[in-house]
Amino acid sequence: MSDAENPSNPTPDEQTDFEPVQVFDDETEMDLRPGADNCYKCTTCDTTCPVAEVDDDFPGPKFQGPEQWRLKRKDDEDIDDSITSCSNCMRCDNACPSSVPLSQMHNTARGEYVDKQMDKLSREYLRNRLLSNYRIMAEIGSKVPRLTNFALNNSLVQKVNEKVLGITSERDFPEFAEQTFREWWHERGGAQVSSEEKKIAYFHGCYSNYNTPEVAKALVRVFEEFGYEIAVPRQRCSGTPMFANGMLDDAERAAEVNVSEFSDLIDEGYDVIASCTSCSMSLRQEYPELFEFHGTAEVSAHTYEAMEYLRIHEDLESEIEDASVEEQSFAYHAPCHARNQGLERQAVELFRELDGVNIEDVGDSCSGISGTYGWKDEKYDTSMKIGEEMFDHMEHAEGNVGMTECPTCSMQMEHGTGYDIKHPLQLLEEALV
Amino acid sequence: MTETPSVLVIGGGSTGCGIVRDLAMRGLDVTLVEKGNLTHGTTGRMHGLLHSGGRYAVSDQPSARECIEENRVLRRIATHCVEMTGGLFVQRPEDDDEYFEQKLQGCRDCGIPAEVLSGDEAREMEPYLAKDVKRAIRVPDGAIDPFRLCVANAADAIDRGARVETHAEVVDVLVEDDEIVGVEVEHGEKAIGIGDGEPGTREKLYADYVVNATGAWAGQIGEMAGVEVAVRPSKGVMTIMNVRQVDTVVNRCRPKGDADIIVPHETTCILGTTDEEVEDPEDYPEEGWEVDLMIDTLSELVPMLSEARTIRSFWGVRPLYEPPGTGTVDPTDITRDFFLLDHADRDGLPGMASIVGGKLTTYRMMAEKISNHVCETLGVEADCRTAEEPLPGSSDFSVLREWMDEFGIRSPVGRRSAQRLGSRTDDVLGRWDGPNPVVCDCEAVTRAEIHDAIDHSGTDLNAVRIRTRSSMGNCQGAFCCHRMANELIHDHDELVVRDSLDELYQERWKGERHALWGEQLSQAMLKHMLHATTMNRDGDPAASDSVIDFAAFDAGEAAPAAAGGATGDDPDRAATDGGTEGENADS
C-alpha cells in the first residue's frame, strides 16, 4: 500500500512531532552534558583505568567523561587531546557505581576531537584511519595471503611502517589465512543444518574471517552439533576499532550495513551470535549509544557472545562433564569487553569441569593492546606496561597455551609470552564435536 | 580645601563596589566596609541574569530602557564577567497571545532587539525545550557572574587607592552636631578577609560623606542614624542545576509569576524565582515547597528538569523600596527602579545618602548617579569614566590558546580558567612558578588561580570560592574544600586555616541541604563519609573545646615497663586487646 492509499491523514500533532535532539546531522553533535548528572566524583573509574595506572600524564576517565562534558559550553570545540590516549577498554563503564555513560562520553568526545581538531592530512590521522579500517586492508591482503604475510613481516617493511605511518615495528602482523572463513562457508555450501526454532546469524567480524577462520569454523561446527541453523549474512566491521579512533563516520557506515542485515534476520527468528567479545559489545552497547538506525535496538537486544548463548539455551555443563579431551593446560585471560558483558568467568567455570583440562584465570588486568592502540608507535610502551601483569601471571600459570575470546588480546598474549593462543570455541569443538 | 574629600561606603554588593570604583576613579579617598565578604548579601544570591530589559518591557519601560543601555555597557567593560547567551521569551500553548504581542511591542518601544522565532526554531536553538512550545521572542539577555563583577570593581578601586574592609560590620552610625560624620565598625573575630582592621576590635571611621548601599539592610543602617528607610525585603528562591540544560536564558512569556526563568550560569543553570515579602532580610523561612515549585513549574518549559540533578538552592532578598504612601500590596508590583535618598533633604540629617531598590544589571548606572550626587555635595568636579574603562580582566582576551604547551594544563581547564580570569589569564597562570595541579576538578580551578584569589582575599576561603568557583561544582567541595585550605597552610596558622575550612564547609552545606534527593543525596553522603572517615571531621577532638582525657586511654601492655620499670617483653608491641584491664582504671 502506498502512502497515497493510506487513509489516515497525519493529525496536526503528528506533524509537529519535531524532535531536534534526534535530528542532528551526525552523532558527533550529541550533547552529553546531562549524562554528567550521575557522576558524584567518587573516582572509582580512575582507579580501574589501565592507562591511568601506567601513564601519569593521562587524566583518566572521570576527566575525559563527566568532567569534560560538564565544563563544555554548547559551541566549545576544544576537546582535550588526551582523549586519544584512552584505549576504549570500557572498564570505566563497569566500574562506575552510578551509571555514568563513560564510554559513550569518550566515544563522542573522541569523534568530535577527530572531526573538528585533528589535521586530516596528518600522519596520525592517516595511520588511525588505516588501522581502524583494518577490514579493507585485510580484504586486499587476503587476496594474496602468502605474499602479504611475507611482505608485512619483512623487517624492512616494518621499519617503513614505523617511520612513515607510526605503526610499531615491535609487533608481527597477524598472518592472513589462505582461505577466508567466508570462502570456506561458500565452498561447503552454507548451512548444513536447518531448523525452525534454533537459528543464529553469525557475526564473525573481520579477524576470524581473514586471520583465524579456525575459530569461525569451530563456531559453525559446535552450533551445528547442537542443531542450530546458521546464517552468515553480509557484514562489515563491527566498528570497534573505528570508535577507538574516533572515526565515527566510518563506524556509522559499517553499522548501517550490519544493523540492516542482521535486523532483517532477527525478524525471521534469528539471534545474533559473535565469537569476538568486542564485536558483540559493539552491537549491544555502542550502536544504541551512538546510532539511531531502524532496528538498532532490536540488534542490541538479540546479540550474544557464542558461549554465553549456548550456556543460556543448552545444557552445556552436562555436555562438558561427559566429555574429555587430551591433557592440556590453559592460561585464560578475560578481555575487558567480555568483562563489560559479564562474561569474564564463563570459560573458566565451564572448562574446569572438562576432563583433561586445567584452566587458570590470569587475573583481572587489561592485556593492554586494546585493539589498534598497542599497534601505534607512541602507545606501544604504554600497551606493554599495562600488559606486564598479565604476562607475569601467564608465566606463573601452569599452562603454556593461552586462551581468550578477543583477537587482539590474543596477539598481545602471544607477543608478551610467545605462547600459542586458543579461542574457547576451539576447545569446545574439540570436546563436543 | 586641599585635603582630598573622603567617602565611606557601606555594603560590598554590586552597588557599593560600583560606587567605590567610580569615586576612586574620580580621585576621592574612599573606604568600603562590608560585614561579610564581598557579595555577601543580595548580590551573591541572584540568578546571574544580565537583563536585556525584556522582562520589564511591558510592566516597567523606564527600567527596560536602562537595562538595555547598561547591558551594552557591561558587555564592553565587563567581558570576563558576562557570557552573551542570548535570551528567549517562550510562549506555551496556554500562554496569552496578546501578552506575547505586548512583549514584542514593548521590546521594540524600548530599543531592545527582538525577533520572533517559531516553536521549531526555538527548539533548534534549545533542543530541550518542551515539544509543544508555541513560539518565542529572542532578545539579547546574557549571563553575568555577580561575584567576579564585584571583585573586579573592588580590585580596581583598591588599585586606585581605595580601602576595602570585609568582615567589618557597622555597629553604629556616628552623628555629631546633627550631621553624620562616619561609622563605627566591628572587625570580625577571625583574621579572615581583606583590609587593615585588627580582628576583634572596633574602629571608628570618619568621612566627609557616608553612602548607605546596604540594599535590604538599608533600614537597619538608617535606624542607627535615626532615620527611617522603608525597604521592603522580598525573598526569592533560586535552584542550581548540575549542568546546563539550556545555553540560552529561557524566560516564560507571561505577565508575571513565580518560577519563570532559567539562566545558564557558568557550568550550571539557575532556576528562578519567587517573590515574597519578609520581615527580616537575615531571618526568614527557606522551605522545600519553594524549591519544588521551581522545578515543577519550569519543567513545563524544559521537561528534563524534572529528572535532572539539583546541586543546591539558595534564597536572596530583594531590596525593594517604594516612596512612602505608594501603598503597593503585592511585592511583585513594586517597581524595580532605584531611589537615592538624600537624608539632608529628606530628614534634615546631612552627611549620608541611602540607595535602595534597583538591580544588578544597572549597578553601574546607579553607582554613577550616586557618585555624581556625592561629588556635587562635596563640591568635587570629576567626570564618571566607568562606562568606558574596562574592569581588570576585561581587556581583550581569547580563550583559544595552546593550553598544554603554554601553561601545562589541559585545554578544558585552560578554557574555563580564561573564561573566569579574562585578560588576567597570562598574569595568573603564566607567572605561576611550580606545579599547578587542578585543585577543584568540578570547576577546573588550578592552584595558580587559588593563590591569586588568596592574594586578593586573605584567608577567607569563601572569598576564594567566589573568585574562582572552586567548590561550587557538583561535588560541592567534597574533593576540594580541604585542598583549598591546604593552600593556606604554608603562610598561616593551623587554627586560622581550620576556621576557614569550617566556614567554607558550613557555607556549602547551607545550600546543599536543600537538594538532598537523588544523585545529590548520594553526593552529600559521599562527602560526609569522606570527610568523616579520612579527616575525622565528624568529631575531631582537636576541633572541639573539650579537653581530651588522654588518661582514659591505656598505653598497652608495655606501659608498666615504661612507667614503672617492670618487665615487658616487647616495648614496641601494640596492645591489640585494649590493654590489661584495670591498669589505668582509676587514673
Range of lowest pLDDT (A15-24, A216-225, B90-99): A15-24
Query: A37: which chain B residues are within 8 Å (Cβ-Cβ)?
Result: 242-243, 308-309, 519
Query: A40: which chain B residues are within 8 Å (Cβ-Cβ)?
Result: 474-475, 519, 522-523, 526
Query: B131: which chain A residues are within 8 Å (Cβ-Cβ)?
Result: 16-19
Residue A301 forms part of a structural domain: yes
Residue B488 has pLDDT above 90, yes or no: yes
State what percent of residues in chain B have pLDDT above 90. 78
CA-based end-to-end distance of chain B: 75
Q: Same structural domain for residues A193 and A299?
A: yes
Q: How confident is the model over B379-407, as pLDDT tens digits? A: 999 999 999 999 999 998 888 888 889 99
Residue A302 forms part of a structural domain: yes
Please give the pLDDT value at position B256: 78
Q: How confident is the model over A331-354, as pLDDT tens digits? A: 999 999 999 999 999 999 999 999
Interface with B, mutate which of A18, A32, A37 (most B CBs under 10 A): A37
Q: Which three three-digit cell numbers place residue A234?
A: 553480509
Q: How confident is the model over B290-316, as pLDDT tens digits? A: 999 999 999 999 999 999 999 999 999
Q: Which three three-digit cell numbers place residue B175?
A: 552623628
Which residue among B132, B412, B522 places its CB closest to the CB of A98? Answer: B522
Which residue among A38, A71, A98 places its CB closest to the CB of B412? Answer: A71
Residues 443-472 of chain B with CB under 8 A from chain A are: 443-444
Query: Measured between alpha carbons, how far is B372 from B350 in angstroms, rounded to an integer?
Result: 16
Q: Does B132 touch chain A (CB under 8 A)?
A: yes
Compare all CA atoms of chain B with the CA of A63 and give the residue at the minimum distance: B441
Residue A110 forms part of a structural domain: yes
Tell me the H-state helices in A88-193.
Answer: 91-95, 102-116, 123-132, 134-141, 145-152, 155-160, 181-187
Query: B473: which chain A residues are within 8 Å (Cβ-Cβ)?
Result: 70
Maximum C-alpha span of chain A: 72
Q: Same structural domain for residues A153 and A220?
A: no
Whether A63 sits inside 8 A of B441 (CB atoms) is yes
Residue A244 has pLDDT above 50, yes or no: yes
Compare all CA atoms of chain A with the CA of B479 and give the residue at the minimum distance: A41
Query: A42: which chain B residues are within 8 Å (Cβ-Cβ)?
Result: 526
What is the nearest CA distance from B15 to chain A, expressed in angstroms? 30
Residue A160 has pLDDT above 90, yes or no: no
Residue A273 forms part of a structural domain: yes
Residue B130 has pLDDT above 50, yes or no: yes
For residues A75 and A161, the model is more confident at A161
Interface with A, mutate which of B83, B124, B242 (most A CBs under 10 A): B242
3-state secondary structure of B536: coil
Give Cα separations from B289 to A194, B292, B523 (angstroms). Answer: 65, 5, 22
Residue A284 has pLDDT above 70, yes or no: yes
Please give the pLDDT value at position B7: 98
What is the nearest CA distance from A142 to chain B, expressed in angstroms? 43
Q: Same structural domain for residues A215 and A150?
A: no
Of A336, A270, A274, A334, nearest to A305 by C-alpha is A274
Query: B474: which chain A residues are within 8 Å (Cβ-Cβ)?
Result: 36, 39-41, 70
Compare all CA atoms of chain A with the CA of B475 and give the residue at the minimum distance: A40
What is the nearest CA distance from A47 to chain B, expressed in angstroms? 16
Please give the pLDDT value at position A17: 47
Which residue among A20, A34, A76 places its CB closest to the CB of B243? Answer: A34
Q: Same structural domain for residues A324 and A306?
A: no
Which residue among A31, A41, A70 places its CB closest to the CB of B267? Answer: A70
Q: How many residues does chain B have?
A: 587
Residues 157-196 of chain B with CB under 8 A from chain A are: none
Q: Which three three-digit cell numbers place residue B427?
A: 598574569
Please give the pLDDT value at position B548: 76
Q: Same structural domain for residues A167 and A185?
A: no
Which residue among A21, A36, A76 places its CB closest to the CB of B243? Answer: A36
Give Cα separations from A193 to A183, A223, A266, B568 (angstroms). Answer: 18, 9, 18, 82
Q: Same structural domain for residues A211 and A304?
A: yes
Which residue among A34, A40, A73 places its CB closest to the CB of B247? Answer: A73
Residue A369 forms part of a structural domain: yes
Please give the pLDDT value at position B577: 42
Q: Does B523 touch chain A (CB under 8 A)?
A: yes
3-state secondary structure of B329: coil
pLDDT band, residue A29 (cuts 50/70/90) = low
Please work out, in degrees rounded to the nearest 5, the angle formed at the alpha carbon of residue B248 by the alpha carbons of B245 and B254.
100
Task: List beta partners, residue B270.
Answer: B240, B263
pTM: 0.89
Q: Same structural domain for residues A37 and A79?
A: yes
Whether A71 sits inside 8 A of B444 (CB atoms) is yes
Interstrand relation of B142-144 and B49-50 (parallel, antiparallel or unpaired):
antiparallel
Q: Same structural domain for residues A351 and A235?
A: no
Of the three residues A295, A312, A329, the one that is the final residue of a domain is A312
Backbone angles phi, psi at B236, to 5 degrees: -145, 140
Residue pair B166/B112 in contact (Cβ under 8 Å)? The answer is no
Q: Does B412 touch chain A (CB under 8 A)?
A: yes
Residue A351 forms part of a structural domain: yes
Q: How many CB pairs under 8 A join A and B?
A: 95
State what percent of residues in chain A have pLDDT above 70. 93
Residue B557 has pLDDT above 80, yes or no: no
Please give the pLDDT value at position A94: 93
What is the nearest CA distance from B117 to chain A, expressed in angstroms? 15
Q: How does DSSP assign A223-291, residue by residue? A: HHHTT-EEE-------SHHHHHTT-HHHHHHHHHHHHHHHHHHHHTT-EEEESSHHHHHIIIIIHHHH-
Q: Same structural domain for residues A161 and A262?
A: no
For residues B147 and A9, the model is more confident at B147
Which residue among A33, A34, A41 places its CB closest to the CB of B442? Answer: A41
Which residue among B119, B308, B474 places its CB closest to the CB of A34? Answer: B308
Model ipTM?
0.88
Residue A184 has pLDDT above 90, yes or no: yes
Of the three residues A291, A312, A333, the one that is the final residue of a domain is A312
Q: Same structural domain for residues A418 and A308?
A: no
Residue B145 has pLDDT above 80, yes or no: yes
What is the nearest CA distance from B182 to chain A, expressed in angstroms? 46
Please give the pLDDT value at position B2: 54
Residue B13 has pLDDT above 80, yes or no: yes
Which residue among A21, A36, A98 places its CB closest to the CB of B242? Answer: A36
Q: Does B308 touch chain A (CB under 8 A)?
A: yes
Please give the pLDDT value at position A6: 43
For chain B, give the mean pLDDT: 91
Whether B410 sits inside 8 A of A70 (CB atoms) is no
Domain of residue A298, residue span = 181-312
For chain A, give the mean pLDDT: 91
CATH number reported for the structural domain that contains residue A87 in this entry: 1.10.1060.10
Q: Same structural domain for residues A298 and A235?
A: yes
Which residue among A36, A41, A69 places its CB closest to the CB of B479? Answer: A41
Whether B411 sits inside 8 A of A78 (CB atoms) is yes
Q: Domains of chain B, with CATH numbers?
A: 6-42+147-230+336-378 (3.50.50.60), 83-142+232-319 (3.30.9.10), 403-537 (no CATH), 549-587 (no CATH)
Q: Cβ of A311: how many Cβ atoms within 10 Å? A: 17
The mean pLDDT of A9-22, rounded to a whole number, is 44
Please work out, in degrees rounded to the nearest 5, the angle formed at the alpha carbon of residue B302 by the alpha carbons of B298 and B303.
95
Residue A138 forms part of a structural domain: no
Q: Same structural domain for residues A209 and A229?
A: yes
3-state secondary structure of A353: coil
Residues 214-273 of chain B with CB under 8 A from chain A are: 242-245, 247, 267
Give the total number of structural domains in chain A. Answer: 4
Please work out, in degrees rounded to the nearest 5, the angle formed at the alpha carbon of residue A224 by the alpha carbons of A220 and A225.
115
Of the three residues A312, A337, A362, the one that is the final residue of a domain is A312
Residue A41 forms part of a structural domain: yes
Compare all CA atoms of chain B with the CA of A66 and give the residue at the minimum distance: B442
Which residue among A31, A37, A41 places its CB closest to the CB of B475? Answer: A41
Compare all CA atoms of chain A with the CA of B265 and give the residue at the minimum distance: A73
CATH number reported for the structural domain that contains residue A328 in this entry: 3.40.50
Interface with A, mutate which of B410, B419, B480, B531 (most A CBs under 10 A): B410
Query: B444: which chain A residues are within 8 Å (Cβ-Cβ)?
Result: 67, 71
Query: A15: which chain B residues are within 8 Å (Cβ-Cβ)?
Result: none
What is the nearest CA distance from B518 to chain A, expressed in angstroms? 9
Query: Measured between alpha carbons, how far is A252 from A290 in angstroms, rounded to an integer?
Result: 9
Please give the pLDDT value at position B191: 67
Whether B120 sits inside 8 A of A18 (CB atoms) is yes
Please give the pLDDT value at position A22: 44
3-state secondary structure of B251: strand
What is the nearest CA distance from B442 to chain A, expressed in angstroms? 6
Q: How confident is the model over A92-117, as pLDDT tens digits? A: 999 999 999 999 999 999 999 999 99
Whether A59 sits inside 8 A of B410 (CB atoms) is yes
Residue A357 has pLDDT above 90, yes or no: yes
The mean pLDDT of B77-82, rounded to a whole number, is 96
Residue A28 has pLDDT above 90, yes or no: no
Range of lowest pLDDT (B9-13, B337-341, B474-478): B337-341
Please give the pLDDT value at position B558: 67
Which residue among B127, B245, B411 places its CB closest to the CB of A20? Answer: B127
Q: Which three three-digit cell numbers place residue A89?
A: 577498554
pLDDT band, residue A1 (cuts 50/70/90) = very low
